[in-house]
Amino acid sequence: MRPTYALINLSHLRYNFLQIRKRAKNSKVMTVVKADAYGHGMLECVKAYEKLGKRAPDYYGVALLEEAIELRKAKLTKKPVLTFSPFRLEEIDDYVKYNIEATICSENMLSKAGRIKTGRPLPVHVNVDTGMGRLGIHHSRAVDFIKKFASKKQFCITGCYTHFATSDEADKSYANLQLKRFQQVVTELKNQGITGFITHAANSGAILDMPESYLDMVRPGISLYGYYPSLETSESISLKPVMSIISSISSVKKISKGESVSYGRKFITNRPTNIASLPVGYADGINRLLTNEMQVIIEDKIFNQVGQVTMDRILINIKNHNIREGTKVILIGKSQSNIITAWTWSKILNTIPYEITCNISKRVPRRYTE
């Protein structure tokens, strides 16, 4: 077994979900497991959620049809699965075969509906663009579109949703405008007798700070995996990071004063020191921009990474400490006295924890613990 691995704490995963479910009160919860559950392993995470029985998720959300098919083939759940990517006519057979709910984003689908031949209506959610500007039916045309679309016997509208652009920012004025636009669409639909579909809008940021956006269902993503979506949201729900990145020292060598290590000579010693080598690099998700910037935890002490991050290996300056080969190293995670999180790396890289966990590559084995 490779000495570098991602340790996924499933009890933390369920804890986060139950904290969100408690906060959402009477709203249903769609757990977002796209991108292999943000790098945590979709199938194992769904398996863990389903152990909650009656408290398990009401829906699962994925980005791609391929992800939905993988989940259905695993036969882990009979709960509805929604794909967020735009529905394409050539995919209809798979949607029907695997009982997957589709997202309608294009007004062109009205003219294409007649080309669909299925034994039963395909369940769909209509994405309403209230200001994200990415996908969806523009809110000013959404009522007319949905009214016409509801008459198409090839489809059954089971949901209607929107996506916030700024719910993770301190200033919620634009998110509130989006919510108002969406609520106006839903109200007008109901006034015209078009009902019976689930409404959902709240992502992780909105779940934390916009309870008025909960509607029929909420859609937590990064918060399920133990991270707040930005440094500007509240921390009104207790969360526990789910992923730790662990490695071990493969070799230790003595470096004299004035010598360099790794490519490009980006670190030169100013005194004799011990350099430990770890079998992990940018092919595993350790961004090269972390060079000479990241730290690790060894035996409950913090040590600096030095020299260029390479494809398969990084180097740690352990100074004059007598640390043996095979000693455990925490890249992300906590010891008794210290903690390094995905936010620690994010601040160096000017990014967000989503990118950190998603970028931990497939060649890093996932190990699961309760």
> What are the CB-based long-range contacts (under 8 Å, 24+) for 258-261?
260/307, 261/306, 261/307, 261/315
Contact 247, 272 (CB under 8 A): no
The question of whether 263 is a catalytic residue gets the answer: yes
| Tokens (6 digits) for 292 | 């000479």
Phi, psi of 296 (to 5 degrees): -135, 165
Strands in 10-148 per DSSP E = 28-32, 59-62, 81-86, 101-104, 122-129, 137-138
Please choose, from the candidates 60, 68, 61, the residue with its C-alpha nearest in 3D space to the C-alpha of residue 91. 68
> Which of the residues 28, 34, 152, 172 is marked catalytic?
34
How far apart are the C-alpha atoms of 362 and 39, rounded to whole Å? 9
For residue 126, CA distances in Å to 138, 146, 185 come to 11, 8, 12
For residue 117, CA distances in Å to 92, 124, 246 come to 9, 15, 51
Residues 6+ apart with CB under 8 A from 97: none
Given CA atoms 240, 25, 208, 81 in this order, what sign does their dihedral have? Answer: positive
For residue 357, CA distances in Å to 34, 39, 116, 332, 366 come to 12, 5, 39, 10, 12
> Which of the residues 263, 328, 347, 362 is marked catalytic?
263
How far apart are the C-alpha atoms of 290 and 348, rounded to whole Å? 7
Residues 6+ apart with CB under 8 A from 22: none
Active site residues: 34, 263
